[in-house]
């Protein structure tokens, strides 16, 4: 017995019993029970959804209200029972026959449970929580009931009434009918003692019969043909940027945000719609289409909008049928570039009218007809819904059902009622917008999938809709792309809230000033270690001074003069770099491993006056070089004193060459002030007390080297100069408190090799996106990890992201101090959070431009449209602002890619390939390889037969090794799209056997050692075919693969082995012969060294085990 009944007096109980005995004469009797019959098309889809996930409350519908003053609960119960007798769907259950048919059974008697709750003294928030929990309680459609009613008594003598029903037996129109009838019956029972509503003319089963007849006839064929043709070639999904990763299966967690538009804007929108000859519904839907297109970058947009199939029935009695008859139709429209909004509105009106004319074709049947793979993570065909619900002020019941203003009251059948809003149907789609036209008001309710979005994102979406609507009203002839998305408040947030405040810390200093200041602070501290050679700050400074004095006195070095530097990775690299800067000149780094042709190009393009190099490189350097080639070891003056001349902060510091899309590398000009601003940020972001030594393994032709070299020297720490980043593992045991600044590819290989990272305290990754797998493995280690992003044109780094972050994605973070980041569209208009666009950078880090490339400089360095008198660099990268203010990198706008930290213009490789005499056509792309790492693949159409080895050797004479494709695929002709463009999706996959037209059969290993080496190669190269005479790099190997082999080989040998030996012996035969000769035995570690190594290994593997578990 409920608590309400227990609290009744004896007289109240007698009266209740009297009414219960009399009610059998008050209700009309139900008609004869029909035989089981099939479900409608819409019901079948909902039943399948329910059976697959009975706990999914996304398809629970309801109406709810607050009753002020007395409420006759028993009269409400009797009214509900009359409803059950009137409408068959309220006493229907659903099931499957033995032959597999879905059927629904109407029962002679049914029940609509009414639950009473006494929540007096309970907080409003707790009451709402309980009611939401009750609304979400699952239904059992096979046993019923399919609806329920609850009444909750709250403080102030008020009652909350909630009617919940599964969507399989109703829709929004039917729910309004039930609400009207329930309250009408209640009023009749209270005032007259008996119901007197006329019986319904038609039941739901008759609608099912009508639908089946329609689809089986000629009209059904017309409807099917229209929709299949209309949706042919439609995009598979609308890719709205989400705040959270999309689950593998669509969830049922949803929420709603509400926003009421300004009354003046509503009136102007109505007037503008009339001027364009369209309805307000179409005008608002057009704004929604444009909003979605601008948020996704997709031109072809599909939006669902609900219609009611009953509207297609010729029999007017069908209009009052209670049951599921809603049918979404798809409004497909293309927001073409440059299309005026007014023209788009008129075209959309035509498409809407067409869709409504063909609305009777069931959407579930359309989904089945369209076929194609089904993505369980999202709704089929369309993922966003739009609904427009106009209600007149003179209809209080309709206003009660749709109003979101809980403070407004309505007089209905003697009751004073007000809306009580509870969530419902919120996660059926990614996003659903309802425009509630309540008299003169227009209220927007945005339902969103909470598994994908957070509330602030949904609120901003509504704000942008209002902003776009306002602009469309003011400028209806403007192009859809030009309509403003960003409000004044959001614009201020994007420009100043998400970007750091400027800091004045350059103070006219140069890079030289920062280093020399540290020399004065710690002259006797070790500055540089190369192998067993060590230089103090005093010694490094003195040797750099001797070089600088020589350059000024003998070679005219000074501001604006470029000096090339081509040395091996010895102390001369650091001495040369610092000495050139001290002379006032700018250095041009050139890797000695570059082909002679590229060295000549760099020297000629830079017009370097002098090239500092080593004796063994002099012959290569002098081949066609305009520069005076000087032996750096002999370029020493007598004076070790600091130079009187000080570089100005606006003087050029260095020129970094990056890949060029035309086949010509371009030199980026960096001034001292830009580098100093970057280094000042480094000094604030990193605590020098957290590390003792910084590993310098990056190529000095790569701008990551600026951090490794000059930040370390500016804070008094020691540089450990490595041959390359792959040598990191050799010093992880012997060095302590290490800072590593490298590309993610290197970190991935270190982790794959199970190296001990116990001595690493700081780890920076930059140059390319970080794989999620790398971050997962680093999660259990006690070290600081950062993701750093930035182009050379903005001095090394532009943004920083610290791990662990709150976002599961690997982001690139926030702008550095004195750096401003913007996300813009093609017209350089500011884009809001969550909308992908081009990432542009402004601030102190910007380069002067490109060397002798004024056209390209003007194209990429443009006036900052948001700060007068400043410049902005267009990165060509696509990114978006996340909800938390971090930037998410999405990829390149053009064909430029980054591999192993190197920025590569694929066009430059294609230009080089085209110079081969046999090449007719060439295309180069980055594709995931067998290990899912990105690899360069070249597709070629050639005259005659060409071996991949020949092409690889040809390219290695013209390009750095990292730009040489690992695979070559030969074609008779390129596949083309209907537009005549190369169909990249149809290109043949790179298969080792297909990469050569006449590959010789591989030579099998002969000895146990060769078989062991073959096994190591096979594991690293993921099963590619090769023999003992194949060059490791010719069969797709890379320097990163060598790290994995190197680690495994050392473990098998039980001793250390220099990585360089694997480069010296790149075939299995040669390497086996080298190992058979037995290299010199290395000294055995001491017992103390073994104990320390064991301790660190145990620490590392404990952390690794914890991560994996």
Is the pLDDT at 1032 greater than 90? The verdict is no
Could you check whether the bond before residue 145 is cis, i.e. omega within 30 degrees of 0? yes
Give CA–CA dist 603/609, Å, rounded: 9
Average pLDDT over residues 709-713: 98
* CATH code that applies to domain 1000-1078: 1.10.1200.10
Higher per-residue pLDDT: 790 or 235: 790
Residue 978 burial by Cβ neighbours in a 10 Å radius (0-12, 13-18, 19+):
exposed
206-230 tens-digit pLDDT: 999 999 999 999 999 999 999 999 9
Largest CA distance in the chain: 121
The pLDDT score that the predictor gives to residue 573 is 98
pLDDT category at 1102 given cuts 50, 70, 90 is very low
Count of C-beta atoms within a 10 Å radius of residue 244: 15
CATH number assigned to the domain covering 686-817+1080-1109: 3.40.50.12780
Task: Classify residue 414 as exposed, middle or buried by CB count within 10 Å of its CB (0-12, 13-18, 19+).
Answer: exposed
CA separation, residue 585 to residues 511, 553, 588, 789 (Å): 12, 13, 10, 28
Residue 706 pLDDT? 96
In the numeric block, the tokens 């001349």 are attached to 645
**pLDDT for residue 1037:** 73
CATH 3.50.50.60 for domain 3-200, yes or no, is no
Q: Quick one: CATH architecture of 896-995?
A: 2-Layer Sandwich (3.30)
Residue 983 has pLDDT above 90, yes or no: no
Asked if residues 949 and 1032 have their Cβ atoms less than 8 Å apart, the reply is no
State mean pLDDT over 239-262.
85
CATH 2.40.110.10 fits 489-502+818-893, yes or no: no
Q: Over range 232-259, report the average pLDDT.
A: 84
Question: d(Cα 257, Cα 433) in Å, to the nearest integer?
Answer: 10
CB distance 417 to 66 below 8 Å: yes
Q: What is the pLDDT of residues 767-776, one digit of tens each?
A: 888 877 788 7
pLDDT attached to residue 891:
80
DSSP state of 98: T
Domain ranges of the chain: 3-200, 236-414+422-485, 489-502+818-893, 510-517+533-672, 686-817+1080-1109, 896-995, 1000-1078
CATH topology of domain 510-517+533-672: Rossmann fold (3.40.50)
270-274, 410-414, 543-547, 628-632: which has the minimum mean pLDDT?
410-414
Q: Cβ distance 513 to 649 under 8 Å?
A: no
Provide the pLDDT confidence category of residue 1098 given band limits of 50, 70 and 90: very low
- How does DSSP classify residue 993? G
**Chain position carrying tokens 């099998």:** 1004
The rounded mean pLDDT for the chain is 86
What local confidence, expressed as pLDDT, does residue 527 receive? 98
Judge contact between 615 and 635, C-beta under 8 A.
no
Neighbours of 87 (CB within 10 A): 26
b/e per residue 632-646 (b: at least 16 CB within 10 A)? beebbeeeeebbeeb
pLDDT at residue 1038 is higher than 70: no
d(CA 452, CA 883): 12
Q: What is the mean pLDDT of residues 9-25?
A: 53
Q: What are the structure tokens assigned to 552, written together?
A: 């000024």
C-alpha torsion 547→551→553→558, nearest 10: -120
pLDDT 10s digits, 596-606: 888 989 999 99
Q: Is the pLDDT of residue 430 over 70?
A: yes
Q: What does the DSSP 8-state code read for residue 36?
A: P
Strands, E assignment, 1021-1084: none
The 10s digit of each residue's pLDDT in 105-160 is 999 999 999 999 999 999 999 999 999 999 999 999 989 999 999 999 999 889 99
Res 14: pLDDT:
54
Share of the chain above pLDDT 70, in %: 88
Q: How much is the pTM? A: 0.73
Q: Residue 887: which residues within 8 A CB-CB, separation 6 or more?
A: 789, 799, 811, 812, 813, 814, 821, 823, 839, 879, 880, 881
- Give SS3 for 638: coil
Q: What are the CA-CA distances from residue 1076 to residues 177, 970, 1004, 1018, 1082 (Å)?
A: 90, 39, 18, 21, 16
Q: In the chain, what percentage of residues exceed pLDDT 90?
A: 56
For residue 869, the model assigns a pLDDT of 94
Q: Do domains 896-995 and 1000-1078 have the same CATH topology?
A: no
Q: Topology of domain 236-414+422-485, per CATH?
A: Chloramphenicol Acetyltransferase (3.30.559)
> Which of 230-239, 868-877, 1035-1044, 1066-1075 bottoms out in mean pLDDT, i.e. has the lowest?
1035-1044
């Amino acid at each position: 017995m409920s608590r309400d009944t227990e609290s009744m007096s004896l007289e109240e109980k007698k009266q209740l019993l009297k009414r219960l005995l009399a009610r059998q004469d008050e209700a009309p009797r139900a008609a004869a029970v029909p035989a089981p019959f099939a479900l409608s098309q819409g019901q079948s889809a909902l039943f399948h959804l329910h059976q697959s996930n009975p706990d999914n409350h996304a398809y629970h519908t309801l109406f709810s209200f607050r009753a002020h003053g007395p409420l006759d609960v028993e009269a409400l119960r009797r009214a509900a029972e009359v409803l059950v007798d009137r409408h068959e769907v309220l006493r229907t259950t659903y099931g499957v026959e033995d032959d597999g048919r879905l059927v629904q059974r109407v029962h002679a008697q049914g029940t609509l449970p009414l639950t009473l709750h006494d929540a007096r003294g309970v907080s409003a928030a707790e009451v709402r929580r309980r009611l939401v929990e009750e609304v979400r309680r699952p239904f059992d459609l096979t046993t019923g009931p399919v609806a329920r009613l609850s009444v909750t008594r709250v403080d102030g003598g008020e009652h909350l009434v909630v009617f919940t029903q599964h969507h399989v037996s109703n829709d929004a129109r039917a729910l309004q009918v039930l609400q009207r009838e329930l309250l009408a019956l209640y009023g009749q029972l209270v005032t007259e003692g008996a119901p007197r509503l006329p019986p319904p003319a038609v039941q739901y089963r008759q609608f099912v019969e009508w639908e089946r007849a329609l689809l089986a006839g000629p009209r059904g064929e017309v409807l099917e043909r229209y929709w299949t043709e209309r949706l042919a070639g439609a995009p598979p999904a609308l890719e709205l940027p989400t705040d959270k990763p999309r689950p593998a299966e669509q969830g049922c967690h949803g929420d709603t945000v509400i926003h009421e538009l300004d009354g003046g804007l509503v009136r102007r929108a109505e007037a503008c719609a009339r001027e364009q000859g369209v309805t307000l519904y179409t005008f608002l839907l057009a704004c929604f289409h444009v909003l979605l297109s601008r948020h996704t970058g997709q031109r072809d947009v599909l939006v669902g909008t609900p219609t009611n199939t009953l509207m297609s029935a010729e029999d007017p009695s069908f209009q009052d049928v209670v049951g599921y008859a809603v049918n979404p139709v798809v409004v497909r429209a293309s927001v073409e570039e440059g299309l005026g909004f007014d023209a788009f509105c008129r075209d959309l009106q035509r498409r809407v009218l067409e869709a409504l004319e063909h609305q009777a074709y069931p959407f579930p049947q359309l989904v089945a007809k369209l076929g194609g793979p089904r993505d369980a993570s999202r709704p089929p065909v369309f993922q966003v819904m739009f609904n427009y619900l106009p209600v007149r002020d003179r209809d209080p019941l309709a206003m009660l059902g749709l109003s979101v203003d809980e403070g407004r009251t309505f007089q209905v059948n003697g009751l004073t009622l007000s809306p009580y809003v509870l969530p419902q149907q919120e996660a059926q789609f990614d996003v659903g917008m309802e425009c509630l036209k309540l008299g003169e008001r227009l209220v927007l309710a945005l339902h969103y999938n909470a598994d994908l979005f957070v509330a602030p994102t949904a609120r901003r979406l509504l704000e942008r809709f209002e902003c776009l609507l306002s602009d469309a009203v003011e400028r209806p002839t403007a192009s859809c792309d030009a309509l403003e998305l960003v409000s004044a408040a959001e614009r201020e947030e994007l420009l100043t809230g998400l970007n750091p405040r400027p800091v004045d810390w350059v103070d006219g200093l140069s890079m030289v000033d920062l280093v020399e200041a540290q020399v004065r602070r710690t002259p006797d501290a070790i500055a540089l270690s190369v192998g067993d050679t060590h230089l103090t700050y005093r010694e490094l400074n003195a040797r750099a001074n001797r070089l600088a004095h020589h350059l000024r006195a003998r070679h005219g070095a000074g501001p604006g003069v470029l000096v090339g530097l081509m040395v091996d990775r010895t102390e001369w690299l650091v001495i040369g770099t610092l000495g050139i800067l001290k002379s006032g000149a700018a250095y041009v780094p050139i890797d000695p491993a570059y082909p002679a042709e590229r060295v000549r190009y760099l020297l000629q393009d830079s017009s370097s006056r002098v090239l500092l190099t080593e004796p063994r490189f002099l012959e290569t350097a002098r081949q066609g070089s305009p520069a005076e080639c000087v032996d750096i070891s002999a370029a020493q003056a007598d004076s070790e004193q600091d130079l009187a001349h000080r570089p100005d902060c606006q003087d050029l510091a260095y020129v970094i060459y990056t890949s060029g899309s035309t086949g010509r590398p371009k030199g980026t000009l960096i001034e001292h002030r830009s580098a100093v601003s970057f280094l000042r940020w480094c000094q604030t972001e990193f605590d020098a007390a957290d590390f003792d030594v910084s590993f310098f393994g990056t190529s000095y032709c790569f701008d990551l080297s600026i951090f490794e070299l000059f930040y370390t020297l500016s804070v008094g720490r020691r540089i450990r100069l490595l041959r390359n980043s792959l040598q990191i593992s050799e010093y992880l045991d012997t060095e302590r408190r290490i800072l590593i600044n490298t590309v993610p590819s290197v970190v991935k290989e270190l982790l794959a090799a199970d190296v001990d990272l116990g001595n690493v305290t700081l780890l920076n990754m930059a140059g390319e996106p970080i794989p999620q797998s790398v971050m997962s493995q680093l999660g259990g280690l006690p070290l600081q990890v950062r993701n750093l992003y930035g182009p050379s044109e903005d001095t090394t780094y532009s943004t920083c992201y610290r791990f662990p972050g709150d976002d599961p994605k690997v982001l690139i973070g926030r702008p550095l101090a004195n750096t401003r980041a913007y996300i813009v569209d093609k017209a350089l208009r500011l884009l809001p959070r969550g909308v992908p666009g081009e990432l542009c950078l402004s601030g102190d880090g910007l380069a002067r431009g490109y060397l002798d490339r004024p056209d390209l400089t003007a194209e990429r360095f443009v006036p900052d449209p948001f700060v007068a008198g400043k410049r902005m660099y267009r990165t060509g990268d696509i990114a978006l602002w996340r909800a938390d203010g971090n930037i998410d990198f999405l990829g390149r706008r053009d064909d430029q890619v980054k591999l192993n930290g190197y920025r590569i213009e694929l066009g430059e490789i294609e230009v080089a390939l085209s110079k081969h005499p046999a090449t007719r056509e060439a295309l180069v792309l980055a594709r995931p390889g067998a290990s899912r790492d990105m690899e360069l693949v070249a597709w070629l159409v050639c005259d005659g037969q060409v071996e991949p080895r020949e092409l690889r050797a040809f390219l290695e004479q013209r390009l750095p090794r990292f730009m040489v494709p690992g695979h070559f695929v030969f074609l008779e002709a390129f596949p083309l799209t209907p537009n005549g463009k190369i169909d990249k999706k149809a290109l043949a996959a790179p298969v080792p056997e297909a990469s050569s037209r006449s590959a010789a059969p591989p030579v099998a290993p002969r000895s146990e050692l060769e078989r062991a080496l073959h096994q190591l190669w096979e594991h690293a190269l993921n099963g590619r075919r090769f023999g003992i005479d194949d060059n490791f790099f010719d069969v797709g190997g890379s320097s990163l693969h060598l790290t994995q082999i190197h680690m495994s080989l050392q473990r098998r040998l039980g001793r250390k082995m220099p990585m360089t030996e694997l480069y010296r012996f790149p075939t299995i035969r040669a390497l086996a012969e080298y190992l058979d000769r037995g290299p010199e035995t290395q000294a055995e570690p001491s017992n103390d060294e073994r104990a320390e190594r064991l301790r660190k290994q145990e620490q590392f593997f404990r952390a690794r085990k914890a991560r994996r578990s």
